[in-house]
A and B are shown apart, each in its own frame.
Chain A
Amino acid sequence: GAVVSQHPSWVICKSGTSVKIECRSLDFQATTMFWYRQFPKQSLMLMATSNEGSKATYEQGVEKDKFLINHASLTLSTLTVTSAHPEDSSFYICSARDPGASGRDEQFFGPGTRLTVL
């Protein structure tokens, strides 16, 4: 099946610094990628939809200037948490849509990145 990777798998940073998370589709081209955030004991919440070559679409309440998304190629999307604060500590998960997939699901999830801001 299709594989999506994320890097890093976990990161600890100081308050005020920026952190970049990468999401890669390893064996397919993803025209659309999604970024989710999950706080402890809560469900996944969509942050933004990233389309290759165009600006990301952010969900209500998600600050686009704080969570910078770049989808420069069909296999890579990045999420940069700028000026991170402790309340940004969360589990960030990306998914990638494979438009060529058939028979199974069209979206494949990465393993997630756990961000801890001190």
Chain B
Amino acid sequence: NAGVTQTPKFQVLKTGQSMTLQCAQDMNHEYMSWYRQDPGMGLRLIHYSVGAGITDQGEVPNGYNVSRSTTEDFPLRLLSAAPSQTSVYFCASSYSTRAGYEQYFGPGTRLTVT
């Protein structure tokens, strides 16, 4: 049981380049989310998904695309990278039951855009 995995761990892009951050979970969770973490601002929600085929925007969605074709995978795409997207990105999966709510985070991807 690997939990939530993210690749790559580090990435450097030039302005205008595109790339995809990969996220996978093996816990069969319905909910998955992408956050970015900037100094002094905590984590901010970029996009989230409540199940395969369903995605929605979070607080800071501009410049990012997502899709959810399977329960396990939730990739985050940067179409044209900008220096403002330099950040640490976290993927998370979560579930909600009568007993409570649990969210599990991946190890994060540090992205630098030059």
Query: Do A and B make up one complex?
Result: no
Chain A interface (Cβ < 8 Å from any Cβ of B): none
